[in-house]
Amino acid sequence: MTTSTALALPAPGVSVVDAPALDVPALDVPALDVPALDVPALDAPALDAPGLGAAGLDVAGLDVAGLDVAGLNPAVRNLPVLSVPVGPGLPTAHVAVLPAHATDTGFATAEERAASEDMGPLRANEFLRGRSLLRQLVAKVLGPRAAARPLRTTGRGRPLLLPGVGVSISHTDQHTAAAVWTGGEIGVDVAEPSAPLHHGLVRRCCGPHAGDVLARSDAADAFSRVWAVQEACVKATGMGLADLPWRIPVHPDAREGRWRRVRWRLVDVGPPCALAVRPGPTAHRHEEAR
């Protein structure tokens, strides 16, 4: 049975835009040596993304701090956004998580709505929820012109919006999540605890901790947290299942950790949710300058 968890205010570890900030310990993200990620001027023709509004906002250079959110569509302006520090000197990551029934699908572009017509009803709903929430989030963080850019995917399913800007989407039957980060690549995953657990799957994903997970009273929650972290990490690398997420070691009680060049942390939003980042070279230079 899939449990339904009401969206809660974040516990220590995140803060909410337009809400009282919470004290979040910073992550120490290691140095990375990857090709430079240049962000071009955002002057390409915008897609038909209804409801974004404030088309005249200039987001060239991605000056997030200077964005005038007062001119945005009310649904964008009032979107609850979690600001998650990911390391000293690194840009803050931004995450939005909403119940499925509260996710406004009206922010999908005409192209995305046309693509959804070839999908089954459930898949189409997930697709439109994810794309719409991501565009709302990007509109609030980077501006509506950035949000109206064409959203493409790699052969492995990684969404691409702007060079040098990581974006990620996750959805379940009950929740929708989106994340954006100007420091490199990002992955977000939201999961729904369900029982009974498949013991073989727990052993595969939890390795030496499987027995501990299965013996817990909150076994479904513990396993969902582990799997959310594993999924977020392979989204951050862009490799998806090819990176064998079930082999990523995650202790069921850990709140943050490291895997290869990726740093991850849990985000307390109600359902199990994890965020993972892989910084680009520009973000790392900012970190070194501190």
Model pLDDT, residue 70: 52
Q: pLDDT by residue (tens digit) across 106-150?
A: 999 999 999 999 999 999 999 999 999 999 999 999 998 999 899
Domain assignments of the chain as residue spans, ordered by start: 15-288
Three-state secondary structure call for residue 106: helix
Indicate whether this model's pTM tops 0.85.
Answer: no
pLDDT at residue 81 is higher than 90: yes
> ∠ at Cα 62 (154, 75), nearest 5°?
80
Phi, psi at 155, each rounded to 5°: -60, -20
| 11-70 per-position pLDDT tens digit | 444 444 443 333 434 434 344 343 433 433 333 333 444 445 433 333 333 333 334 455
CA distance 198 to 78: 39
The predicted structure's pLDDT at residue 44: 35
Is the Cα dihedral 13, 255, 142, 168 positive or negative?
A: negative
Cβ atoms 17, 80 nearer than 8 A: yes
Of 224, 159, 223, nearest in space to 185 by CA: 159
Q: What is the DSSP letter of 66?
A: G
Query: Bigger pLDDT: 66 or 213?
Result: 213
